[in-house]
Every structure is written in structure tokens, then in C-alpha cells.
Amino acid sequence: MTEITKKEVEHIADLARVELTKQELEIFQKQLSSVLDYMKILEQVKTEQVKATAHVIGLNGVMRNDLMTDCKCQKDILKQVPITEGRSVKVKAVFKK
């Protein structure tokens, strides 16, 4: 078993800006050691023939196109806003330069 030291856990907690009690320190020491043991198991997996992927299930273009469609109420809505540009509502900038 890979044993991560309490000092290493304290260092990780410090980097993450997390304060740990003595009890939490012991819990995380065991949990992080367990994670490192699991990583050693994963290092043994032969992956030379596996193609690199960006997404494990191969989803592409899951977002629909943001298309404006005509609706009966669009003209009524645009009449109620203070500033329009074409068929769009114009608003103040969220981020100032």
C-alpha cells in the first residue's frame, strides 16, 4: 500500500486552501493513499493499441444551433423593450472594457 504522509496531506490541503481537523487529516491520508494504490493498478493496463480520445462516448455537436424563429408574439415583445437592433433585444454590456 502506498502511504501518503500526513505532512503531504497538509501540503495538499494548503494548496487547495482547505483547513482540516486532525480527524479529517487521518481520513484524507487513508483516502489519498487508496487513490494512489488504484493509480498503480491503472498503470499496469496495456494502452499502446488504444487510440487517444477527447470524449469516451464520442459525442459531437450536442448543442443545437441557436436559431431565431418567427413567432406570433415576437413583434409584441420587441415593442415592449427600450432598445432593439433588427429583430433582437439590445442590452447594456455585461463586461466593461
Task: Look up the domain containing 26 and give its range.
Answer: 6-43
pLDDT value at residue 51: 83
> Mean pLDDT, to the nearest integer, of 49-61?
76
Closest CA to 29 of 53, 12, 9, 49: 9
Report whether pLDDT(97) > 80: no
Residue 19: partners with Cβ closer than 8 Å, 6 or more residues away: 13
Residue 1: partners with Cβ closer than 8 Å, 6 or more residues away: 33, 37
21-50: pLDDT as tens digits: 999 999 999 999 999 999 999 999 998 998
CA geometry: angle at 16 spanning 11 and 21, to 5°? 65
pLDDT value at residue 9: 95
The domain that contains 23 carries what CATH number?
Answer: 1.10.20.60
The answer to whether residue 72 sits within a structural domain is no
The answer to whether residue 59 sits within a structural domain is no
The answer to whether residue 23 sits within a structural domain is yes
61-75: pLDDT as tens digits: 777 787 767 677 888
Its pTM surpasses 0.95? no
pLDDT value at residue 39: 92
The three-state secondary structure class of 89 is: strand
The answer to whether residue 16 sits within a structural domain is yes
The number of folded domains in the chain is: 1
